[in-house]
Copies of this chain bind each other. A is one copy, B any other.
Amino acid sequence: MNTEPTLPFLRACLRLPVSQTPMWIMRQAGRYLPEYRATRAQAGSFLQLCRNPELATEVTMQPLRRYGLDAAILFSDILVVAEAMGIKLSFNEGEGPQLEPRINSHNDVLALHPAEPEDELGYVLATVRTIRKELDGRIPLIGFAGSPWTVATYMVEGGSSKTFSRIKGMMFDAPLVLQELLDRLADVTAAYLNAQIRHGAQAVQIFDTWGGVLSPRDFRAFSLRAMIRIMEQLDKTTPQGEQVPVILFAKGCGPLLEEVAATGCQVVGLDWTTDLARARERVAGRVALQGNMDPAILYASEARIRQEVEEVLTAYGPHAGHIFNLGHGIAQDVDPARVSILVDAVRQVSRRILSQ
């Protein structure tokens, strides 16, 4: 069985016609929402929130209740995969993630735990099930994981980085060690995404937040290659036989759009530094596109937000295969009222454009 989906987000992923452009917002369940901050305070910490299926479901639902978006995204963190492989993960307030021990050598890679998602990440899968129950088929659920390259940057650097000196040192001097790390991450990530799909995810997004710090050559050899390794292992359908679209979001990689689109994904996520009209021509109907409004527009006035929505939707035009989103996660200092304006504008303008 492989019938056409009815939910607009899933239809747009497969480039099927819709009457208004479906939208969701990267990091839509986040600190800009007062109700999120309250639930997080109740959980104790960010990681405790991730590990609590009831509360993680609650924050997943909050932006849907407030704005009526077209997709829910699993509330979790890309680094839980590193944790499942035996790395100690902590988030110290205002400092970003810390990972111990750092991966330095081939022996460190060999010592990584071959994580079984059903075991070590069972709490995420429980969250997936709880969210699906709560959504009750009205709104689709997107599962996600970080790209191997992006997760590896944190594992090798021991946290966030500006220069990526350690992982690039490894890439340049011990490329086979890095490839081994990326292969292991790809295999665990594929198993993890497949588990999310088994437990209820209806689409999955791979976040390659840091692919853009690589030269085109190194992006291909390390980040893109590992994402293709995931793609090759992913289940194509849910247990019920529905097609599961894969969204690849590689920030800063607009110049390599054609290559990202050729990985076998159904949707490419774009940041705002890529021209959307040109991008649509470049992929020529081979994939759907997701994006790509500059998140900073949400600091602007209502009129300016509406104007920008008009420009983004006009750039894509009256074609199938567009999912509206920001070009990056929403910032924590955005006024939630601006998001209401954004959602209203996307509804109104896209209905007009798509009925032309």
Contacts and interface: CB of A to CB of B under 8 A. Distances in A.
A254 interface: yes
Given A172-B308, A254-B255, A214 B273 contact: yes
Contacts of A301: 172-173
Contacts of A163: 295-296, 331, 333
A172 B297 contact: yes
Given A273-B212, A300-B173, A304-B173, A165 B255 contact: no
Contacts of A331: 163, 165
Interface in A293-326: 294-297, 299-301, 304, 308, 311
A2 interface: no
B172 A215 contact: no
Given A165-B296, A165-B299, A333-B165, A275 B172 contact: no
Nearest to A328: B163
Given A163-B333, A172-B301, A215-B275, 4 more contacts: A166-B299, A169-B300, A215-B272, A216-B274
> Interface residue tally of chain A, by bracket?
20 to 34
Contacts of A217: 275, 311
A129 interface: no
A168 interface: yes
Interface-centre pick from A216, A299, A304 (highest chain B CB count, 10 A)? A299
Interface in A268-286: 272-275
A274 to B, nearest CB: 7
Contacts of A164: 296
| 7 A-B pairs with the lowest CB-CB distances in the bound complex, closest first | A168-B296, A172-B300, A169-B299, A172-B304, A215-B272, A165-B299, A173-B300
A22 interface: no
Nearest to A300: B172
Which of A163, A217, A274, A301 has the most chain B CB within a 10 Å cutoff? A163
Nearest to A311: B217
A306 to B, nearest CB: 12
Contacts of A172: 296-297, 299-301, 304, 308
A115 to B, nearest CB: 29
A252 interface: yes
A216 B273 contact: yes
Nearest to A303: B173
Nearest to A278: B216
Interface string A146-190: 000000000000000001111011001100000000000000000
Contacts of A218: 294
A169 B216 CA distance: 32
26 contacts: A163-B331, A164-B296, A165-B299, A165-B331, A166-B299, A168-B294, A168-B296, A168-B297, A168-B300, A172-B297, A172-B300, A173-B301, A173-B304, A213-B273, A214-B273, A215-B275, A215-B294, A216-B273, A216-B274, A216-B275, A217-B275, A217-B311, A218-B294, A252-B273, A254-B255, A255-B274
A216 B272 CA distance: 8
A218 B296 CA distance: 12
A241 to B, nearest CB: 40
